[in-house]
A and B are shown apart, each in its own frame.
Chain A
């Protein structure tokens, strides 16, 4: 009995003439991500992608774990294949579904017959297979409205597939189909979530992190690497750029008015990130800002930071509460890492009373006290790059 994974495509199927591109990108990323588990045959037909293991030792749990993190997959299910012969289908269903049906009280059978040459019509398939399952598992009863388990028999071109319920996939659209963007990542809870959300909309990611030794520790940097590693499970590999930010922060502290420290710092971050983004063919920046969460994330402050940035800035968390953000961070397994208590560059040099309604002109005038171009050039020149898989 051969087990495979069936992937159901989400909104890709609505993409009209571009659909092929989306499918191809998805299949490429599937192949790349599955490669470390063994060899597979991956092919698309009839709005479904078939992932078929070609080695013996492949653990199907690992396969489903892997595909559950690939954007563009709306739902998936493990299924067993059977020859298109009613007796063989029945036998396979009884054997394959023993565990799932053992835990259930009620079930129903659905049939999809896309191969119209199969001699049984869909209702007949349901009858035959349902009857056989009832006989083999006498504790079960049929409930067509709210069954514990829905058994689906699909009769397709190559073979028949028997599966229980579909599992929800990661959703979204395949990474890489939406272009490339650069995320500003600090090590907190928000930015990894923002990264995940934009990757879900098809963006390939690079990341910029600002480090301020000796005010911040190497651990903070490693924490960011770990966070990006978790995001990369969804987005694929991420190039991480670390910017040495201490000089700029010290200059700001020396020359600018205290209440503008944070806002000017954020403007520098945007400017530096934009440079790195452009050099790496990105078309947008991504931040984890949520409106009103802190003083630098008010509408006025956002306006001041956007004023120095010449590319779109995506803020997927802008309308979300902390609780909602935490919920996602738990789902993508970044929460536990995010809450480790290391200083990051945003928490040092924090003014006692930051401006919550800054005026762009005043902020710009304050920032102009510094040799901005030179500072930015130097920061960009000294970046370190690391590829996170």
Chain B
């Protein structure tokens, strides 16, 4: 039975280029990039090439890119690092109610430590209102963290003007963007948008798990989470995850032209959207203005998990929400105003360049079968 993998926002299949590079770094260029000998220098060159690839993607300088273990570490470093660096300047942290758990939970922890955290609420489309941000930022604000693309719905937050608004009202504040679901899919230049910190991850773009980057604008200061050696300007000490990082670099280089990939994904997305709209009891939760890589829908009455397992038995892989929530109720869909009924039956389909319309045909076929045969329990 053909495998239909449609859970690319959870993780992606590692592309050939990335796997080859990681293997080469693990088995041939296995030196420690900090070693003084040529074996070390060889590894360092590979690491720096990967850093450059990531920097180019963001039109940033290599010196602004720090390798981490992934999105969660990047987000945590950004939030705690900024809050601790700026705690004398103010107390207010602003984020949204629809962030990834690695931002939400970090923010909650900071709240316990005495910071005032404001959660901006989204509208029905999952987007926050930029005027709410304007109202929330004051001169006591030290950090604003807004995700670029929502991991459950694909909603794109209006961050184009956010940097200007934040820095005008709070010149000291740092602006962090969780770009995990947008990296490689959406053109974005942090420098241009006044973004000081930005997180991205390797395994969402066909790179290996275990690597991510944190962009730190030149001149922005944060306090590191870890203490140790001299690696990465002491901001992220410890031997770099060379194989995973180089795999990430290779994955970035292997990305097709953004515009044409976007068009390809958009086509698949619209194809599925069209087919689903003809099926009764199905509502689509992702608006058309969302990033086309994610489509969230509810087969009302059928529990998300039931649908997931039903499809899984037929070799089709989707998600019941965010993989990181491990089945907990979605705070994102709730914040968007979905009823419990809709939210309990939400299914997230997420695409990659390795999918095709054929995958969609197989998926839709089985959804129709499920819709007709499964017991409705919610």
Contact of B63 among A103, A222, A336 (CB under 8 A): A336
Interface size class of A (residues with CB under 8 A): 10 to 19
What chain B residues lie within 8 Å of A102 (beta carbons)? 164, 168
Contact of B38 among A61, A62, A99, A218 (CB under 8 A): A218
Chain B count of residues within 8 A CB distance of the other chain: 11
Is A219 an interface residue when CB atoms closer than 8 A count as contact? yes
Flag if B63 contacts A219 (CB, 8 Å). no
Contact of A219 among B36, B59, B164, B233 (CB under 8 A): B36
Q: How far is the CB of A345 from chain B (nearest CB, A)?
A: 16
Residue in chain B with minimal CB distance to A217: B36
Contact of A61 among B164, B191, B233 (CB under 8 A): B191
Is A59 an interface residue when CB atoms closer than 8 A count as contact? yes
Flag if B41 contacts A222 (CB, 8 Å). yes
Residues of A within 8 A of B (CB): 59, 61-62, 99, 102-103, 217-219, 222, 336
Residue in chain B with minimal CB distance to A103: B168
- The majority secondary structure among interface residues of chain A is helix
Q: How far is the CB of A249 from chain B (nearest CB, A)?
A: 20
Complex Cα gap A210–B112 (Å): 57
Task: List CB contacts (< 8 Å) of B280-331 with chain A.
Answer: none
Chain B window 216-258, contacts with chain A (Cβ cutoff 8 Å), 1 for yes, 0 for no: 0000000000000000010000000000000000000000000
Residue in chain B with minimal CB distance to A99: B164
What chain B residues lie within 8 Å of A222 (beta carbons)? 41
CB < 8 Å A-B pair total: 20
Q: How far is the CB of B40 from chain A (nearest CB, A)?
A: 9
Q: How far is the CB of A329 from chain B (nearest CB, A)?
A: 14
Contacts A61-B189, A61-B191 aside, 4 further interface pairs with beta carbons under 8 A come to A59-B189, A103-B164, A217-B36, A219-B41
Q: How far is the CB of A351 from chain B (nearest CB, A)?
A: 25
Residue in chain B with minimal CB distance to A218: B41
Is B192 an interface residue when CB atoms closer than 8 A count as contact? yes
Chain B window 142-184, contacts with chain A (Cβ cutoff 8 Å), 1 for yes, 0 for no: 0000000000000000000000100010000000000000000
What chain A residues lie within 8 Å of B164 (beta carbons)? 99, 102-103
Complex Cα gap A59–B164 (Å): 18
What chain B residues lie within 8 Å of A218 (beta carbons)? 38, 41
Residue in chain B with minimal CB distance to A341: B230
Report 20 cross-chain contacts, Cβ distance below 8 Å, ordered by A residue: A59-B59, A59-B189, A59-B192, A61-B189, A61-B191, A61-B192, A62-B59, A99-B164, A102-B164, A102-B168, A103-B164, A103-B168, A217-B36, A218-B38, A218-B41, A219-B36, A219-B41, A222-B41, A336-B63, A336-B233
Q: How far is the CB of A101 from chain B (nearest CB, A)?
A: 12
What chain B residues lie within 8 Å of A336 (beta carbons)? 63, 233
Task: List CB contacts (< 8 Å) of B41-97 with chain A.
Answer: 41, 59, 63
What chain B residues lie within 8 Å of A217 (beta carbons)? 36
What chain A residues lie within 8 Å of B191 (beta carbons)? 61
Residue in chain B with minimal CB distance to A62: B59
Complex Cα gap A221–B233 (Å): 20
What chain A residues lie within 8 Å of B168 (beta carbons)? 102-103
Complex Cα gap A217–B168 (Å): 47
What chain B residues lie within 8 Å of A59 (beta carbons)? 59, 189, 192
Task: List CB contacts (< 8 Å) of B10-64 with chain A.
Answer: 36, 38, 41, 59, 63
Q: How far is the CB of A304 from chain B (nearest CB, A)?
A: 34
Residue in chain A with minimal CB distance to B167: A103
Q: How far is the CB of A246 from chain B (nearest CB, A)?
A: 17
8 shortest interchain CB distances as A-B pairs: A217-B36, A218-B41, A103-B168, A61-B192, A219-B41, A218-B38, A219-B36, A336-B63
What chain A residues lie within 8 Å of B189 (beta carbons)? 59, 61
What chain A residues lie within 8 Å of B233 (beta carbons)? 336
What chain B residues lie within 8 Å of A99 (beta carbons)? 164
Complex Cα gap A219–B34 (Å): 10
Complex Cα gap A179–B226 (Å): 51
Residue in chain A with minimal CB distance to B41: A218
Complex Cα gap A326–B41 (Å): 28
Q: How far is the CB of B189 from chain A (nearest CB, A)?
A: 8
What chain A residues lie within 8 Å of B59 (beta carbons)? 59, 62
Complex Cα gap A246–B214 (Å): 42
Task: List CB contacts (< 8 Å) of B170-206 with chain A.
Answer: 189, 191-192
Complex Cα gap A217–B63 (Å): 22
What chain B residues lie within 8 Å of A62 (beta carbons)? 59
What chain B residues lie within 8 Å of A103 (beta carbons)? 164, 168
